[in-house]
Amino acid sequence: MADENRIQRPLSPFMIGPYYRPQLTSMSSILTRITGNALIVATFAMVWWLLALAAGPEAFATAEWWITSWVGNLVMLLSLWGMWYHYLAGLRHLAFDAGKALDIPTAEKLGWACIYGSVVLTVLTVLLFWI
Amino acid sequence: MRYLTDRKRAVGKGSAHSGAEHHWYMIVSSVALAFMVPTFLYIFGNALGSGYDAALATFQRPFPAILTGLVLVVGLQHFHKGARVMIEDYTQGSTRKLLIMLVIGLSYALTAAGLFALAKIAL
């Protein structure tokens, strides 16, 4: 069994909370996780749409109505931004994995590049498909 | 100088003994998705809202069907391995195990459902 008289070892505090000031590096990192996991919502919608397409015109009309309703459009728009953010942050992660761009000024520049870049790419995608 | 790669030095270290393989899978799948997702987005974005017949015609063609299948398989493997790291960071014990099972099951269920739909559309 676990020893009750365990040594109280210091714990590393979580990056979000009272111990650390919010920083671009930590915030852009947690946002990668949030956007990546949130994309499961768009995946559900996409698989539902495909199943409806396979099932026939009536099921397809229902799915399409929901996905292109204002709620569906909002979810799709947010997912689109999340996808582009996760995409750019993922590319940045590949650079970090290769041991590149790890100094703070470069990492912060790339953080802003992910944020602004994802907004620009989202606007371009919307212009391409919705207009 | 030791003639070992960085990966070889990392394999088997850590409590799970499989972290290096997990990390390498995430790198491989992210590069694959980086190539596939923009093309998939273009196809899916055009098909969405184009009407039943046009959407059906799109996914009956080999390239859109194969690409969508690949994005689903690779994307959901990438998802469940990434979600697993998140679960392991924030939860412990039985909650952690149940959530990991849930996320793996969900990923395979969505993959199977998507592939079934693609097969039914294409054939």
CATH class (in words) of the domain with range A24-36+69-130:
mainly alpha
Report the chain B residue with the minimal C-alpha distance to residue A83: B37
**In this structure, what token pair is assigned to residue B33?**
């998705």
Taking an 8 Å cut-off on Cβ atoms, the answer to whether A49 and B82 are in contact is no
- Tell if the CB–CB gap between B56 and A53 is shorter than 8 Å: yes
pLDDT at B108: 98
Give the rounded distance of the alpha carbon of B25 from its chain centre. 10
- Confidence check: pLDDT of A4 > 70: no
Query: Are residues B69 and B93 in contact, defined by beta-carbon separation less than 8 angstroms?
Result: no
Give dist(CA B100, CA A33) in Å, integer: 16
- Find the mean pLDDT for residues A68-90: 95
- CA-based nearest residue to B121, from A66, A60, A40: A60
Longest dimension (CA), chain B: 64
Instruction: Give which of A37, A48, A50, A127 to mutate to test B binding, by max B Cβ within 10 Å.
Output: A50
B77 and B29 Cβ atoms separated by less than 8 Å: yes
pLDDT at B17 over 90: no
Distance CA B100, CA B78 (A): 14
Sorting pLDDT into bands at 50, 70 and 90, what band is B22? very high
Q: Which amino acid is at A83?
A: M
Nearest CA in chain A to B107: A40
Query: Tell me, what's the pLDDT at A20?
Result: 83
Q: What confidence category does residue A114 fall into, taking pLDDT thresholds of 50, 70 and 90?
A: very high
Q: Where in chain A are the domains?
A: 24-36+69-130
pLDDT at B1 over 70: no
Residue B81 CB: number of other CB atoms within 10 A?
A: 17
Q: A83 versus A130: which is more confidently predicted? A: A83
Tokens of B19: 């972290």
Which tens digits make up the pLDDT trace of B32-79? 999 999 999 999 999 998 899 999 999 999 999 999 999 999 999 999
| Whole-complex ipTM | 0.90
Share of chain A above pLDDT 70, in %: 95
For B18-122, give the CATH class.
Answer: mainly alpha
d(CA A118, CA A84): 5
**What letter would DSSP give residue A19?**
S
Whole-angstrom distance, CA of residue B20 vs CA of residue A83: 26
pLDDT above 60: residue A13: yes
Q: Could you tell me if B109 and B101 are in contact, meaning their C-beta atoms sit under 8 angstroms apart?
A: no
In the structure, what pLDDT confidence band is assigned to residue A3 with cuts at 50, 70 and 90? Answer: low
> Which pLDDT score is estimated for A1?
53
Whether A86 has a binding-site annotation, put simply, is: yes
Q: Quick: pLDDT tens for B77-116.
A: 999 999 999 999 999 999 999 999 999 999 999 999 999 9
Q: Closest to B83 (Cβ–Cβ): which among A37, A47, A53?
A: A37
The answer to whether A58 touches B94, Cβ cutoff 8 Å, is no
Radius of gyration of chain B (CA): 19
Flag whether residue B27 sits within 8 Å of chain A, measured between CB atoms. yes
- Nearest beta carbon to residue A53 from set B33, B106, B117: B117
Would you tell me how many other CB atoms lie within 10 Å of the CB of residue A19? 9
Whether the predicted pLDDT of A15 surpasses 80: no
Q: Do B34 and A83 touch (CB under 8 A)?
A: no
Provide the residue ranges of all domains of chain B, joining segments of one domain with +: 18-122
Closest to B68 (Cα-Cα) out of B48, B30, B41, B105: B41
